Amino acid sequence: MASTPGIPVIAIIGKQNNPIYIYNSRLPLPSTSLTTSLDLHLLLHSTLDVFEARLPQKTADQDFGLLFAIDERLAAYGWMTNTGVKFVIIVDQGFNSSSALSTRGGGLGGAIREADLKPVFKSIHTEYIKLISNPFYDHESKEMVKSKKFATALEKIAETGIPGVY
């Protein structure tokens, strides 16, 4: 029996490529290459190259889809706002058996479609808009977000993967 795909990491990266917020639920992820905080930061930094490479071909759609597969379990997906803020989620496929691979198309990405993640990205975007709408939030700051309300909202998005459940 396969476990459901989870979202262990949500990252928000500013338009100056500075980390705004990184939600990390469970490092190290066993049986993966993502074991330390440094690995996570290196991975998130490497997603910026994919954003930059695909940017000239993008039009109105901000969905960058699968940025790259990290290993047989983990994959990074991206979304960018019209202001240049980037959202990256890492999806843990978490398969326990090969039967799950054959039932949904096989391989990495077979258990979850990119379209399934659009509501998740839109929920993250909604929470980000709530954050920057606060008149006391300094969005020009290079420091990472310390809002507990924002952290709780992203944690719920990662745990449920269902938008609108806050």
Q: How far is CA 53 from the centre of its chain?
A: 18
Q: Which residue would you say has higher pLDDT here, 157 or 94?
A: 157
Query: Percent of the chain beyond pLDDT 70?
Result: 73
| φ/ψ (deg, to 5) at 22 | -130, 115
Phi-psi region at 23: left, alpha or beta (left = phi > 0; alpha = psi -120 to 50): beta
Average pLDDT over residues 131-138: 90
What radius of gyration, in Å, describes the C-alpha atoms of the chain?
Answer: 16
Residue 95 in domain: yes
127-160 core/surface letters (b: 16 or more CB in 10 A; e: else): bbeebeeeeeeeeeeeeebeeeebeebbeebbee
pLDDT higher than threshold 60 for residue 162 = no
Range of the domain at 83: 6-160
Give whole-number Cα distances, 42 to 38, 103, 150, in Å.
6, 33, 24
Distance between CA atoms of residues 144 and 105, nearest Å: 39
Residue 135, in any domain of the structure: yes
Is 147 part of a structural domain of the chain?
A: yes
Q: Is the pLDDT of residue 56 over 90?
A: no
CATH assignment at residue 151 = 3.30.450.70
Run of H or E residues at 96: none
* 166 falls within a domain: no
Domain count, the chain: 1
Q: Where are the beta strands (DSSP E) in the chain?
A: 6-13, 19-24, 63-69, 74-80, 86-92
Per the domain annotation, does 93 fall within a domain? yes
* 1 is a domain residue: no
Least confident of 11-20, 60-69, 111-120, 156-165: 156-165
Residue 11 belongs to some domain of the structure: yes
Q: Is residue 113 part of a domain?
A: yes
The pair phi, psi for residue 55, each rounded to 5°, is: -60, -45
Task: Return d(Cα 56, Cα 23) in angstroms, integer.
Answer: 29
Q: What is the pTM of this model?
A: 0.80
Instruction: Please give the Cα distance from 67 to 51 (Å, whole number).
Output: 8
